[in-house]
Structure 1
Amino acid sequence: MTTARFTPVVTADDQATLARMASDIWHEYWPAIIGEAQTDYMVSHFQSLQAIQTDMADNGYEYWFIEDANGTALGYTGGHAEAETNRFFISKIYLAAHARGKHLCSQTIRFYDELCRERGLSAMYLTVNKHNELGVRAYQGNDFRVTECVVTDIGNGFVMDDYIMERPVSA
C-alpha cells in the first residue's frame, strides 16, 4: 500500500501545477462517464487555473497534492469548511490512473477526519456522480451515506447528476 502525504497548494506555481494535473486526470477518467464535451466544459469552469485561484481567494477553498513518500504527486484534493453547517465540504478527490486502487481515497478521508477534528467540525460531505461507481464504492467503504440525490444545471446544456454523501467525524 502506498502511504500518502498531503502537501498544501500555496504558491502560484503550485496552483498552475494543480490545474495541469486536474486537466490530465479529468481527461483520462471522465469522458467515459460524462462525455468529452462535458469533461472539457467542467475542466474549464471548475478545474482550471482561474477556477482554482478564485476558489482559494474568494471562497475559502484549500487544496492539497496527494503525494507518495518520495513527493511524487498522485492526485489532489480540496474543499472548504462551512461554519454555518459545522461541516467540511470535500469538493475534490481525484487520483491519477496509476494511483487508483491503492487505498489513497481512504487515506484522504482519514486526512479530512483529522482536519475536521482539529477544527471542531462535526461532519464532512461531498458530491459524487451517480455513475461514478468507483467513487461511490470508495465513499461507501469509508462510511459515507447518501443523504440526497441532486441534479444541478451547470450551464451550456450540462447537468451534474450526483449523490450527496455525508459522514460524521470520528470521535
Structure 2
Amino acid sequence: MMKSDSQLIINGLNFTPVVMEDEIKKVAAAATKIWHEHFTAILSSEQIDYMVDKFQSEKAITNQIETSSYRYYMIRVEEKLIGYFAIKEEEPEKSLFLSKLYLYKEYRGYGIASKAFEFMTDLCRQKGYHKIWLTVNRYNENTIKVYEKKGFIKVRTQVADIGNGFVMDDYIMEKTI
C-alpha cells in the first residue's frame, strides 16, 4: 500500500484519500452498515450481502484501488467517519465516473453530498473533464432526486447481470461540467 495523501478539508469536512489497509477496513465496515440501512427498501438482504461482498469488501476495494485506478475517499467530521465516495478518472472520455457516494443515515440531508460534488467538480475543471457520470438503482427515488437537484440528467437505463442470479437495474446519469 502507498502512503496516505494529505487530507482535503472543505467547510469542516475532511475528504481523506483511502490507501492504507486500516482505512480500507474502515470503509468496508461502513459500506456494510450503510448498505443495510439504505437499500433494504429496494433490494433483498441476500442481494445486499452479495453486492457488498462483491463490490465493497476489503478485497474488492483493495483490488479497485490497486488495479482499476479507483480513488476512494473517507468523508469525516474531525476524526469521525460519516461516509465515503469513490471516483475513477477516464482520460480518453474526459470524464469522471462517480462509482460510490454513501453517507450514514444520520448525516444525510445536511449538504455533505453537495460538498463532495464541489470537490469532484473542481477536480474535473482542473483536469479539463467535461462531465461526471454515475449509475443509480432505478428504484432509489430519493437519491435520484438528489442527483437531479445537483444537475444530473438520466441518459439511459442499464441492466447488468452481476452473478448469483442478481442484476443491477440502473439509470446512467450525467452532469455536464
| TM range, smaller chain | over 0.9
- Distance between the aligned counterparts of 2:88 and 2:163, measured in 1? 23
Cα deviation, 1:152-171, whole Å, max 9, x if unaligned, reads: 111111111111000012xx
- Aligned-pair identity in percent equals 40
Amino acid at match of 2:122: E
Q: What aligned pairs does 1:80-91 form with structure 2 within 5 A after superposition? A: 80-91=88-99
Query: Is the counterpart of residue 43 in structure 1 residue 13 in structure 2?
Result: no
- Distance between the aligned counterparts of 1:9 and 1:79, measured in 2? 12
Q: What aligned pairs does 1:63-74 form with structure 2 within 5 A after superposition? A: 63-68=72-77, 70-74=78-82
Q: What aligned pairs does 1:1-171 form with structure 2 within 5 A after superposition? A: 3-68=12-77, 70-169=78-177
**1:112 CA drift (Å):** 0.4
4+ runs deviating over 4 angstroms: none
Root mean square deviation of aligned Cα: 1.2
In 2, are the aligned partners of 1:149 and 1:164 still within 8 Å (CA)?
yes
Q: Describe the SS at the equivalent of 2:42.
A: helix
- Distance between the aligned counterparts of 1:90 and 1:106, measured in 2? 13
Cα deviation, 1:59-106, whole Å, max 9, x if unaligned, reads: 0000001122x2321100002011121101000000101111111111
TM-score, normalised to structure 1's length?
0.94
TM-score, normalised to structure 2's length?
0.91
Cα deviation, 1:15-72, whole Å, max 9, x if unaligned, reads: 111111111111111122111010000000000000000000000000001122x232
Q: Describe the SS at the equivalent of 1:102.
A: coil
Q: Describe the SS at the equivalent of 1:131.
A: coil
Q: Describe the SS at the equivalent of 2:170.
A: strand
- Distance between the aligned counterparts of 2:39 and 2:61, measured in 1? 19
- Distance between the aligned counterparts of 1:72 and 1:4, measured in 2? 10
- Distance between the aligned counterparts of 2:79 and 2:129, measured in 1? 29
Q: Which runs of 5+ in 1 are unaligned?
A: none
**Using CA pairs below 8 Å that are at least 6 residues apart, which structure has the higher relative contact order?**
1
In 2, are the aligned partners of 1:4 and 1:66 still within 8 Å (CA)?
yes
- Distance between the aligned counterparts of 2:94 and 2:88, measured in 1? 11
Amino acid at match of 1:4: L
Number of matched pairs = 167
**1:3 CA drift (Å):** 4.6
